[in-house]
Every structure is written in C-alpha cells, then in structure tokens.
Amino acid sequence: MSDAASQRSKAREPQPAENDGFAVPRHVAIIMDGNGRWAAARGLPRVEGHRRGVEALRRTVRAAGELGISVLTIFSFSSENWSRPPSEIRDLMGLLQRFIRNDLAELHKNNVRVRVIGEREGLDREILLLLQEAEDVTRNNDGLTLVVAFNYGSRQEIAQAARRLAIEVAQGRLSVNEITPERLGQYFHAPDIPYPDVIVRTSGEQRLSNFLLWQAAYSELVFVPINWPDFDRAALEGVIKEYRRRERRFGGLAAKTGS
C-alpha cells in the first residue's frame, strides 16, 4: 500500500475533535433501539414509537451539529429487519419516505450532507430514488455528515469486500500478499468516512447487532438505558461526557499507569 493510502487509512481511525477546548467525538454512530418498547410501555401501537423515534432523530441531528460532531451515523434499517411483520415494514418505509420528503430541505439548508450505506439491490424503486435524491441534493454540503445505514448488515459488508478482493486476485490485479486490513477497508460502502469514535445503543441492550463490526475495532461503546424516542440533546451530551472520561489507548499503554 502506498504512503498516501496508508495516511488515508490512519485518518479513518477514531480521532477526537475540539469544541470549546474539550474533546468531542468526531464520529458518533447510534443504534436507535427501543421504539417498540417505548410504545408498549404507554399502551400505544408500535408505529407510534417509530414516529416518536423520527422526532428523536431530528433532535439528535440538530444537537450533533451544534456540539461539533462531524459525522453522525444512524442504524435506520438493518438487513435483518425484513423479517419483521409486513405491516411494520410498511410503516417503517412510510416514515422513511416522509422523513426524507419533509426534512431534506431543512438538512440541506443547515449544510448537512447525507450519505447512505447498505445494499441497494432489490430495494423498492421509490425508496431507492429518495435515497439517491437525498445524497445528490446535499452532495456539496460540508457541515455535519449524516450517514444513514439502510438495508445494512456489517457481515454482509465484510463479505462483499472480501468477494471484491477475491476478484482482484483472480484477475491478476492483486497478489495475496497485498491483502491487508487497510486494503479490505477500501471496499466498504463508504471508505472515506472515518471510523466511529463512539457507538451508542439506546434501550439498555448491550450488543452491536451486526452494525459496523469492522469499523468498531477501537470505538468506545456506550449503552444508555433510555429508549430511543426519549433520546435528546441532554442524552447526547451525556454520551460526550462519558467519551471524555475514558482513556483511549488503541492497544498501547495507559499514559498514567503504564498498564
């Protein structure tokens, strides 16, 4: 791998940004969990939980930009979510469509760039066109990058990257000895986006659920007990405080203890 490629790879590893002299995570990724439990606790249909989840997303996107976060990735729909009841999938797709149609203009006005990661083959044409429109309209914005993980699964992403590397080897364009972690990462959905500093999961569950498994190698994991519809700026500030509290060693020694 060339020196330039190596430098690009290092730039993708988690790095702190600065906001008023304090370290803030450059990239926050969120598993938005607990919509259904939020609704069930209130005797409401699941779709109402998903609607309130969209409101929480709006709050979080706004707060992330104000707090100096550069990249916000949201796990909006996993490749495994297709196994949910058809009625719930229709509700989720409808909410996605309304979010893009209703919020795209505001996102663009606020200089937010939308990126989409995940498999697009086989998606409904209307959904596919909306996702493409969101990317196209905001392509030249240089504020907060909002990465929407839609029809996304990390194992599938890694397998797809491995297949592409295998093709390169089979066609003689790459030798087996040239396969490195950095090379594999170049075949992911968005190879230019820095890896997340923090991965957050709401609802109290403590697992990654096939989300950014490769990219999470040195991410801080923060599990918060509140359900996603209750997530707000204060909750995001709490995540940042927890991030600042942790000492990040990336496999090295602790600065104070040497352990």
Residue whose entry in the numeric block shows the structure tokens 């919020």: 103
Phi, psi (rounded to 5 degrees) for 116:
-125, 130
Which stretches within 13-45 are classed as H helix? 35-41
Residue 21 CA, distance from chain mean position: 26
User: Active-site residue 140, yes or no?
Assistant: no
How far is it, in rounded angstroms, from Cα 87 to Cα 50? 13
User: Active-site residue 33, yes or no?
Assistant: yes
Residues 119, 82: contact at Cβ < 8 Å? no
Residues 224, 200: contact at Cβ < 8 Å? yes
Q: How many residues does the chain have?
A: 259
Residues 71, 194: contact at Cβ < 8 Å? yes
CA distances in angstroms from 160 to 27, 74, 77, 80, 181, listed in the order given = 24, 21, 19, 16, 14
Candidate list 33, 91, 103, 197, residue with the active-site label: 33
Burial degree of 71 (CB within 10 A; 0-12, 13-18, 19+): buried
One-letter identity of residue 258: G
Candidate list 3, 35, 81, 227, residue with the active-site label: 81
Residues carrying an active site annotation:
33, 81
